[in-house]
């Protein structure tokens, strides 16, 4: 998840991914039931794929395997499943799928990853491309009313917005948290909050990042915002402001959280357990904080006054499949049907 190196005591993410794509006319053809998405609810990069899969209604076409929130230096593991083995792939560690294809795989074992079920081989772990391919290559299997998250007429404008969100926010919190010296941390901190201030201004007059409807850009920002107060503010020293102290972003984040597909895929318990237990260099005691209070996520956000239609000409997804629902104990704002319970 946070695979990277330190250059002059600053964190540089390893972006050398397996770039194979599943495409209608590619080496790995689009085929319902053939592939398994391996994710972890704790990981923001993997959480994106879970959200997009749900928004588009691809649950029946692409199965979902969930690794537990903690892992060692070797691999993500399937410790949430009976016998600690993925029930479809029949492997205890995600690393096994990587080694099945690349016996000498030299890099970190990351989620999300897509595995070819018949061969047990990893196909790709290129998280940024995975969701774009869901949105463009899997259209045959979309649910009725699926939104257009990667609209053709907005892509030229979306790309620089998403790039800035990635470099300054998604990855920016990691540069703060894993800085190896004061100067590197100070620079990372300033870059992060400069970008968050830009987002406060951008979203003050429009409901979503690209205007009136939810797009891929909103998915990419949301997973960092959801982790900001529980993890990044304290654990990664991103402490100029809490999310709850940035009024526009806090209202925007609540708006998304209360939208089907976002809050109902967010597991706050696993998020905190992952960061505070796995990052022993940052948190050597592995103590997981009890807070923060999550009740605010269900409160009215007031963003409706900006207009817009979250799903454009589409419709929201229904309740998540029972087997994929976030346990209420992990997200107390989720009801027995797996949907977020919004405060009246």
Beta bridge partners of 196: none
SS3 320: coil
Spatial contact of 209 and 222, defined as CB atoms under 8 Å apart: no
The reply to whether 236 and 137 lie within a common domain is no
**Cis before 292 (ω within 30):** yes
Which DSSP state fits 36?
E
Spatial contact of 331 and 266, defined as CB atoms under 8 Å apart: yes
pLDDT digits (tens, 9 = 90+) for 147-168: 999 999 999 999 999 999 999 9
Is 43 an active-site residue?
Answer: yes
The reply to whether 42 and 161 lie within a common domain is no
The reply to whether 125 and 214 lie within a common domain is no
Q: Is 105 exposed, middle or buried (0-12, 13-18, 19+ CB in 10 A)?
A: middle
- Quick check: is 330 in a domain? no
Which of 141, 163, 182 lies at the terminal end of a domain, its last residue?
A: 141
- Quick check: is 103 in a domain? yes
Q: How far is CA 268 from the centre of its chain?
A: 12
Which DSSP state fits 129?
H
Sign of CA dihedral 221, 226, 227, 233: positive
pTM: 0.96
The reply to whether 130 and 229 lie within a common domain is no
CA–CA gap between residue 144 and residue 121 (Å, rounded): 31
The reply to whether 116 and 189 lie within a common domain is no
Sign of CA dihedral 58, 133, 51, 230: positive
CATH code of 59's domain = 3.40.30.10
Q: Cα separations (Å) of 75 from 128, 159, 208, 265?
A: 21, 32, 36, 23
The 3-state DSSP composition of the chain as helix, strand, coil percent (nearest 5) reads 40, 10, 50
CATH code of 171's domain = 1.20.1050.10
Q: Show the 3-state SS of 229-291.
A: HHHHCCCCCCCCCCHHHCHHHHHHHHHHHCCCCCHHHCCHHHHHHHHHHHCCCCCCCCCCCCC
SS3 207: coil
- Quick check: is 338 in a domain? no
The CB density around residue 279, as the number of other CB atoms within 10 Å, is 18
- Quick check: is 228 in a domain? yes
Q: Of the listed 35, 43, 176, 185, which one is catalytic?
A: 43
Spatial contact of 17 and 126, defined as CB atoms under 8 Å apart: yes
Residue with tokens 């909050």: 193
The reply to whether 101 and 31 lie within a common domain is yes
The reply to whether 53 and 189 lie within a common domain is no
Residue with tokens 């053809």: 29
Q: Of the listed 98, 174, 208, 276, which one is catalytic?
A: 174
- Residue 13, pLDDT score: 63
- Quick check: is 97 in a domain? yes
Q: Is 144 exposed, middle or buried (0-12, 13-18, 19+ CB in 10 A)?
A: exposed
Binding-site entries: 76
Q: How many domains does the chain have?
A: 2
The reply to whether 212 and 132 lie within a common domain is no
Range of the domain at 106: 4-141
Spatial contact of 65 and 37, defined as CB atoms under 8 Å apart: yes
Is 238 an active-site residue?
Answer: no
Binding-site entries for glutathione: 76
- Quick check: is 147 in a domain? no
Kindly list the averaged pLDDT for each block of 10 residues, start to end, along the chain of length 344.
52 81 94 98 98 98 98 92 98 98 95 98 98 98 98 98 98 97 98 98 98 98 98 98 98 98 98 97 97 97 97 97 95 95 88
Q: At what angle do helices 247-257 and 182-203 cross, to 10 degrees?
A: 70
């Amino acid at each position: 998840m946070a695979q990277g190196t330190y250059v002059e005591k600053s964190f540089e993410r390893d972006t050398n991914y397996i770039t194979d794509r599943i495409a209608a006319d590619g080496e790995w053809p689009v085929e319902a039931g053939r592939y398994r998405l391996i994710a972890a609810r704790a990981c923001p990069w993997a959480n994106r794929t879970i959200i997009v899969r749900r928004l588009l209604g691809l649950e029946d076409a692409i199965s979902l395997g969930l690794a537990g929130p903690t892992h060692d230096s070797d691999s993500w593991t399937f410790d949430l499943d009976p016998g600690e083995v993925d029930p479809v792939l029949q492997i205890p560690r995600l690393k096994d799928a990587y080694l099945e294809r690349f016996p000498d795989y030299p890099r970190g074992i990351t989620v999300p990853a897509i595995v070819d079920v018949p061969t047990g081989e990893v196909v790709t772990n290129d998280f940024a491309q995975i969701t774009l391919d869901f949105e463009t290559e899997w259209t045959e299997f979309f649910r009725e009313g699926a939104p257009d998250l990667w609209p053709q007429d907005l892509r030229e404008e979306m790309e620089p917005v998403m790039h800035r969100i990635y470099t300054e926010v998604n990855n920016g919190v990691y540069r703060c948290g894993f800085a190896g010296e004061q100067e590197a941390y100070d620079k990372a901190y300033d870059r992060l909050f400069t970008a968050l201030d830009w987002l406060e201004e951008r979203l003050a007059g429009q409901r979503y990042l690209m205007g009136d409807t939810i797009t891929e850009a909103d998915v990419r920002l949301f997973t960092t915002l959801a982790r900001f107060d529980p993890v990044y503010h304290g654990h990664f020293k991103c402490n100029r402001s809490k999310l709850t102290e940035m009024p526009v972003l806090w209202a925007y984040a609540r708006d998304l959280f209360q939208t089907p597909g976002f809050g109902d895929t967010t597991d706050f318990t696993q998020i905190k357990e992952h960061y505070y237990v796995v990052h022993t260099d940052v948190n050597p005691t592995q103590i997981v904080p009890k807070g923060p209070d999550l009740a605010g996520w269900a409160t009215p956000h007031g963003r409706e006054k900006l207009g817009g239609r979250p799903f454009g000409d589409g419709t929201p997804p229904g309740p998540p499949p029972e087997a994929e629902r976030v346990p209420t104990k992990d997200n107390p704002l989720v009801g027995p049907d797996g949907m977020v319970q919004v405060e009246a």
